[in-house]
Amino acid sequence: MRNTFTVNGQTRNRLRPLAVGDTRPAKEQIAERLREAIAEGRYQQGERLPGTNALARYYKVGAHISYEALLLLQREGLVRVVRRHGTFVRGGGGEARRG
């Protein structure tokens, strides 16, 4: 499994893997990992998150699952999705809301 992402030319490993035995849908688990990364400051305000394909490869899920995870964060107001440009963090650090 690839443990890093390249975002804005920088290689990073900022997301925890999915928990073994967690029965929640994968989209909810992925959204939680992204929420945690934002809340802990691993992704800053205005920074682009990994894309749907990169998330799908990392978590070994279909791209539609990672897309749905990003949509959950968008509905919560944590990220802004810009078509053909990516998903960007709206609030950084401790500003992340828990769902």
Distance, C-alpha 11 to centroid of its chain: 15
Q: What residue spans define the domains of the chain?
A: 25-94
Regarding pTM above 0.95, the answer is no
Average of per-residue pLDDT across 68-74: 97
Reported confidence tier of residue 16, pLDDT bands at 50, 70, 90: confident
pLDDT surpassing 50 at residue 2: no
Separation between Cα atoms, residue 64 and residue 53, nearest integer Å: 9
pLDDT surpassing 80 at residue 9: no
Average of per-residue pLDDT across 36-41: 92
pLDDT surpassing 50 at residue 97: no
Q: Locate the DSSP E strands across 1-99.
A: 5-7, 10-12, 79-82, 86-89
CATH architecture for segment(s) 25-94: Orthogonal Bundle (1.10)
Instruction: Tell me the one-letter amino acid at 38.
Output: I
